[in-house]
Amino acid sequence: MLNKEFNFIGSEGTVTESGCRPSSNTCPNAGGQDAINGASWCTSGGYPTVSVTYDVAGTGYIDVKSNKSIVGVGSAGVIRGKGLRIANGVTNVIIQNVHITELNPQYIWGGDAITLAGSDMVWIDHCKFSLIGRQMIVTGYSAAGRVTISNNEFNGVTSWSATCNGDHYWTMLFLGSSDLITLVGNSIHDCSGRAPKVGGASTANVVLHAVNNYFAYIGGHAFDVATGGNVLIEGNAFVSVTTPITTASSSAGGQIFNVPSSSYTSTCSTYLSRSCVVNSVSSSGTFSSYTTTGFLANFSGKNIQAATAASVVIANVNANAGVGKIGN
């Protein structure tokens, strides 16, 4: 039980070294994000070199072992300056009611809030993510297994934006080789990309059920579905989202069923033992129709998240998502 803030900033010192200025940073020194040379990203990208100074703790992580729960008390549970990793065969983990924040937010590769790789049976619930340098939640190339991400707040408001618009780009990235992910009841706001990105690696095999989430003020794209990504999108509310689903998703090897109208709700009955729920889209870009159904067979015989009408999603998510709201 976390009943206070744990601040790791400065605990492992700082480093000054060569990083880079990616082409996305069109507003250097005025709200853009430069990059640490993580995974030789700067070198392979051929970007101009700049000096970067960052907190070492943020680029590492706290390893969480099997059969563990990390639960915040009230609104007091904060982990500042360091993320969590659930990996290497770890199973049966709950992260609940915890705010993870301030992982070198000025730099791409500054740190990931939660990393899943070679894990199974993970529940991330009622947490808040803010001011993260890289991904708020990321699954590595190995299987993340069965994961539920529920009632969280993904707060993308930042002073260091990869897209120079005050919105965080690196929100969620799901790349695992055998992932079953339920994304339900989350508030995902003021982001500009990867909200989420599903697939994109040659070994990716991700089945994602996105249901009853509230996507708001996305100054870029929400869903980006690539090779190995299989996504059912139902009963979500999109408000002021520039691009709800990237147009590249239809040609990038991903599969999507997004229930574009009531004409398609009965399609799910064969696989989910219930009808699907239409999404709500307002003040947003075009919500193109994606109606691939073959991958829905992955849902057969499994416990499937129930879905409410999209008309009540905004009120429900505002009342329930984030820290200090367990039991709402």
Give the residue numbers marked as catalytic.
194
Closest listed residue to residue 114, CA positions, set 73, 165, 148, 159: 148
DSSP letter (8 states) at residue 122: E
Find how far residue 315's CA is from the centre of its chain. 21
CA distance 215 to 235: 11
Partners of 146 in beta bridges: 180
Residue 180, both tokens: 């079953």
CA distance 78 to 237: 28
CA distance 186 to 150: 6
The Cα-based distances of 215 to 92, 195, 208, 238, 279 in angstroms read 28, 9, 16, 5, 11
Find how far residue 148's CA is from the centre of its chain. 12
Contact 20, 34 (CB under 8 A): yes
Residue 224, both tokens: 């980006």
Residue 228, both tokens: 């190995």
Contact 272, 299 (CB under 8 A): yes
Contacts of 73 (CB under 8 A, 6+ apart): 1, 2, 3, 97
∠55-115-258 over CA atoms, to 5°? 125
Type of residue found at 89? G
Phi, psi of 119 (to 5 degrees): -125, 175
Collapsed DSSP state (helix, strand, coil) of residue 239: strand
DSSP letter (8 states) at residue 43: H
